[in-house]
Amino acid sequence: MPKQADFIRKRNFKEVALGYSAEDAIEEAGRCLDCKKPFCVDGCPVEIDIPGFIRAIAEEDFALAIKILKEKNCLPAVCGRVCPQEEQCEIKCILEKKGAPIAIGRLERFAAEWESQQDSIEMPVIDDKTGKKVAVIGSGPAGITVAGDLILQGHDVTMYEALHEPGGVLTYGIPEFRLPASVVTREIEYLQKLGVKLICNFVVGKTRSLKKILDEYDAVFVGTGAGLPWFMNIPGENLNGVYSANEYLTRVNLMRGFQYPKTYTPVVRHKKVAVVGGGNVAMDCARTALRLGAEEAVIVYRRSETELPAREEEYENADEEGVKFSFLTLPEKLYGDKNGWLKEIECSKMELGEPDASGRRRPIRIDGSEFRMKMDACIVAIGNSPNPIIPQTTPELAVSKWGTIEVDEESFKTTIDRVWAGGDIVSGAATVILAMGAGRKAARSMHEYLSSLT
Amino acid sequence: MFKIIERKSIVPNLHLLVVHAPDVVETIQPGQFVIIHCGEGSERIPLTAADWDREEGTLSIVFMEVGTSTGKLAMLQPGDEIPTVVGPLGVPIEIEKFGVVVCIGGCFGLGSIFPVVRALKEKGNEVITMLEGRSKNLLYWEEKLSKYSDKVIKLTRDGSYGYKGHVKKGSELLRELGIKPDRVIANGCTTLSYLASRDYAHFDVPVIVTLNTIMIDGTGMCGVCRCTVDGKMKFACVDGPSFDGRLVDWEELAARRKQYISEEAFLVHHSGCGGF
């Protein structure tokens, strides 16, 4: 798929991927074998009829393609961009064995972009109104999926959002160059057109308790996502210039800090930036730092390249843009100047030992290998705990020792009657599509319950 | 949208803002804060509640005009609408029957201490309220605070009103009067909170302060409000904003508050004029 050239894109916030042209898409779709037993569908957490929409693209019926996608996925423009297709649908593609699976994600993105350029979009048929009321708490990927599914089944859906803009991690977390804000806005507006009521600036658990919300609705879904960032618990983490990935990305994305001083939320333009962690979020931070003018952005990861959890595509993009990688490196101590600003990071080199519980080889510190890196910023991107507000203010709700809400694995029901939960608040930090998959399953169970009411 | 009912300058540089936010005031408790955002491009600003009226659905806030975003707030007129007043956020301050409670307010903290004073009095405490300011013209709400206080002590650094001195003077006065507080609560800038924690520590009772850290979401997501309390990392937005000041790492807190000083100063000097 065509991309902005690396030397250009590393200094702007425009989307990296330029997308398929109609010709590209038709040609790519034409390669699909249209398998009788399509394994790709098994790999999709939301069970999209993949061969169906691809066949429609090959036959140049783009309207049908998007219709098929939207039957199972209310966020095709988002998923086409940020789903890890290479480990879900594409890895299951028969052509994968020959080395080149169908680019399912890119085709999904193409269909969604095609639709956005049409004068009018075809609205799906909504089932007869049931008169049942549902509250969805959190407007991130899980909440959006629940809202999208239940509104189509005729229920009244109200979605609550704590921040001033909807979208959850799609808005505050994923950078503009990977998922433009306009794409998220479009998808949310579509939900509103379907009849979903959106209330921003409302913190359930604070503005109103979950219990009170429950009095007003027949069923409630909790998808409140990420909470407090994890730090490394090493000396110096509260120095100025040390950020959590959540903070750094929220400043830039939600608060549009990359447009400072036109916008008022400042982002310091650091020159030498270390990003600790190896996931997509770490890549996002390093690439953001470069776009903000950093001379050097280094990913500091304690395991090796093989264990890097980021998507191949994001690793490649980061590498092309000039992000440096310091593998098998563990930060041990942060040093600051007399005004409390970060100056140096002391690290140790690591080697890989036996596989640990996650199946990845355990990194072991090499004694005496300490060295220092001169850095003026350090972004900690090693994950976060679930959002604490609802568990903190709802004592009846059972939570695990990690603070995630406990649910029934199949139905996503919580320990409180009529309350379901899904997404990062249940699983801990995961991907957009896994949150959507959880939302899909919860919505199914919620619909079943709502239909049983007279 | 949230409608502005009133906005006026109460003393130089401090403004009272009354906004219609019925959902927020339905559950608000003393010590909690809201985040205000004036729309696209603005900052999210955390501000502690100074009063509320549940029947009218209104929330009062006293804020200091310090930068571009608060400058924008200071321009609001009755009838204007702002897109975001979200809350109440943070953990309410502990209100129990402690006995004798000394409440110290300075600057915007004279506003935010008011709900605390009122709640403590209603709980049956003996409340000694101290108003601190550089000069007489910077003190406000004396009458309002007096209504719920058993004793009011005024402290001005230039001696233009009440006693001359900072919060330390108040602690000396207590000693002279033979009053031993069961709890001290201080609201105001970081300096006032720090000084209160230092100068009242000898009473050997909790000195509860409300920290003014930088925040973005205010809901336990971004982590910028982290501070060290009793040697542990705490987040002011969800663990606080009130902590026992005797356990706060003040040096770190003061440094962290200065993270964006140069960016903020840049905006104050450059916004709007388009030149240098």
A122 located within any domain: no
User: With 70 as the cut, is the pLDDT of residue A192 above it?
Assistant: yes
Residue A200 at interface with chain B, using a CB cutoff of 8 Å:
yes
Cα gap A237→A342, rounded to integer Å: 9
Cα gap B23→B100, rounded to integer Å: 33
Choose the mutation target among B25, B91, B222 for the interface with A, i.e. most A CBs under 10 Å: B222
Instruction: Write out the two tokens for A366.
Output: 């090499």
C-beta separation of B82 from B165 below 8 A: no
CA distance A169 to chain B (A): 11
- Return left, alpha or beta for A307; rule: phi > 0 is left, psi -120 to 50 is alpha, else beta: alpha
Residue of A nearest to B224 (CA): A247
CA distance A28 to chain B (A): 40
Residue B99 at interface with chain A, using a CB cutoff of 8 Å:
no
Q: Which of B84, B224, B228 shows the shortest C-beta gap to A164? A: B84
User: With 90 as the cut, is the pLDDT of residue A21 above it?
Assistant: yes
Q: Which of B219, B258, B271 shows the shortest C-beta gap to A162? A: B219
Q: Which of A237, A238, A246 shows the shortest C-beta gap to B221? A: A246
- A252 and A178 in one domain? no
CA A76 to chain CA centroid, nearest Å = 14
Q: Which fold has domain B2-89?
A: Elongation Factor Tu (Ef-tu); domain 3 (2.40.30)
Q: Which of B219, B256, B267 shows the shortest C-beta gap to A389? A: B219
Q: Which of B88, B221, B252 shows the shortest C-beta gap to A387? A: B221
Q: Mark yes or no for CB contact A202/B23 under 8 Å.
A: yes
A125 located within any domain: no
Bond prior to B241 in cis (omega within 30° of 0):
yes
Residue B273: what pLDDT?
47
Q: How confident is the model at residue B266 (pLDDT cuts 50, 70, 90)?
A: low
β-bridge partners, A266: none
CA dist B240 → A149, A164, B36, B237, B244 (Å): 38, 22, 18, 6, 10
Cα gap A393→A385, rounded to integer Å: 16
Instruction: Write out the two tokens for B21.
Output: 């936010």
| Range B101-116 average pLDDT | 96
Query: Could you say which residues from 17 to 76 on chain B have a Cβ atom under 8 Å away from some Cβ of chain A?
Result: 23-24, 26-27, 37, 40-44, 68-69
A46 located within any domain: yes
A28 located within any domain: yes
Q: Mark yes or no for CB contact A207/B27 under 8 Å.
A: yes
β-bridge partners, A274: A298, A378
Q: How confident is the model at residue B276 (pLDDT cuts 50, 70, 90)?
A: very low
ipTM: 0.91
Q: How many domains does chain A have?
A: 3
Residue A412 at interface with chain B, using a CB cutoff of 8 Å:
no
For the segment A278-327, what is each residue's pLDDT rounded down to a tens digit? 999 999 999 999 999 999 999 999 999 999 999 888 999 999 999 999 99
C-beta separation of B226 from B239 below 8 A: no
Residue A72: what pLDDT?
84
Q: Mark yes or no for CB contact A389/B84 under 8 Å.
A: no
Q: How confident is the model at residue A446 (pLDDT cuts 50, 70, 90)?
A: very high
Q: Mark yes or no for CB contact A265/B235 under 8 Å.
A: no
- A401 and A302 in one domain? no
Q: Which domain holds residue A69?
A: 6-116
Residue B275: what pLDDT?
42
The single-letter DSSP state of residue A405 is B
Q: Which of A201, A228, A261 shows the shortest C-beta gap to B267? A: A261
- A220 and A196 in one domain? yes
Mean per-residue pLDDT over chain A, rounded: 93
- A241 and A215 in one domain? no
Q: Mark yes or no for CB contact A256/B42 under 8 Å.
A: no
User: With 90 as the cut, is the pLDDT of residue A130 above it?
Assistant: yes
Which of A116, A142, A170 is the last residue in one of the domains? A116
Distance between start and end Cα atoms, chain B: 35
Residue of B nearest to A340 (CA): B255
What percentage of chain A has pLDDT greater than the value 90?
Answer: 78
User: With 80 as the cut, is the pLDDT of residue A225 above it?
Assistant: yes
Q: What is the dihedral of CA A200, A203, A207, A209, to 10 degrees?
A: 130
Residue B259 at interface with chain A, using a CB cutoff of 8 Å:
yes
Q: Where are the domains of chain B?
A: 2-89, 100-210
User: With 60 as the cut, is the pLDDT of residue B185 above it?
Assistant: yes
Overall residue count recorded for chain B in this entry: 276
In this structure, what CATH number is given to the domain that contains residue A14? 1.10.1060.10
CA distance B224 to chain A (A): 6
- A260 and A215 in one domain? no
In this structure, what CATH number is given to the domain that contains residue A333? 3.50.50.60
CA distance A243 to chain B (A): 7
Which residues of chain B are within 8 Å of residue A339 when distances are taken between CB atoms?
255, 258
Residue B6 at interface with chain A, using a CB cutoff of 8 Å:
no
User: With 80 as the cut, is the pLDDT of residue A434 above it?
Assistant: yes
Cα gap B124→B104, rounded to integer Å: 18
Which of A382, A416, A438 is the last residue in one of the domains? A382
User: With 70 as the cut, is the pLDDT of residue A204 above it?
Assistant: yes
Query: Could you say which residues from 315 to 334 on chain A have a Cβ atom under 8 Å away from some Cβ of chain B?
Result: none
Residue A263 at interface with chain B, using a CB cutoff of 8 Å:
yes
A140 located within any domain: yes
User: With 70 as the cut, is the pLDDT of residue A245 above it?
Assistant: yes
- A296 and A201 in one domain? no
Q: Mark yes or no for CB contact A247/B223 under 8 Å.
A: yes
User: With 50 as the cut, is the pLDDT of residue A183 above it?
Assistant: yes
A123 located within any domain: no
Residue B267: what pLDDT?
63
Residue B268: what pLDDT?
61
Q: How confident is the model at residue A358 (pLDDT cuts 50, 70, 90)?
A: confident
CA angle A129, A145, A422 (to 5 degrees): 115
- A351 and A217 in one domain? no
The single-letter DSSP state of residue A208 is B
- A372 and A271 in one domain? yes
Amino acid, single-letter form, for residue A390: I
Among the listed residues A66, A73, A277, A80, the one whose alpha carbon sits nearest the alpha carbon of residue A180 = A80
A60 located within any domain: yes
Q: Mark yes or no for CB contact A389/B68 under 8 Å.
A: no
User: With 60 as the cut, is the pLDDT of residue B142 above it?
Assistant: yes
- A417 and A377 in one domain? no
Instruction: Write out the two tokens for A425.
Output: 């608040």
A368 located within any domain: yes
CA distance A111 to chain B (A): 30
Q: Mark yes or no for CB contact B41/A263 under 8 Å.
A: yes
Query: Could you say which residues from 149 to 188 on chain A have a Cβ atom under 8 Å away from some Cβ of chain B?
Result: 162-164, 172
CATH 3.40.50.80 fits B100-210, yes or no: yes
| Range B145-169 average pLDDT | 95
Query: Could you say which residues from 43 to 102 on chain A have a Cβ atom under 8 Å away from some Cβ of chain B?
Result: none
CA distance B216 to chain A (A): 8
Q: Mark yes or no for CB contact B221/A263 under 8 Å.
A: no
- A109 and A25 in one domain? yes
pTM here? Answer: 0.91
Instruction: Write out the two tokens for B81.
Output: 């609408």
C-beta separation of B85 from B59 below 8 A: yes
Residue A235 at interface with chain B, using a CB cutoff of 8 Å:
no
Residue A349 at interface with chain B, using a CB cutoff of 8 Å:
no
Q: Mark yes or no for CB contact A264/B227 under 8 Å.
A: no
Residue A203: what pLDDT?
96
Q: Using the structure block, give the residue that is written with the tokens 């979605």.
A: A159
Cα gap A33→A41, rounded to integer Å: 14
Burial class (CB in 10 A: 0-12, 13-18, 19+), A304: middle
Cα gap A18→A2, rounded to integer Å: 5
Q: How confident is the model at residue B39 (pLDDT cuts 50, 70, 90)?
A: confident
Residue B198: what pLDDT?
95
Which of A355, A382, A409 is the last residue in one of the domains? A382
- A97 and A109 in one domain? yes
- A216 and A148 in one domain? yes
For the segment A367-403, what is each residue's pLDDT rounded down to a tens digit? 999 999 999 999 999 999 999 999 989 999 999 999 9
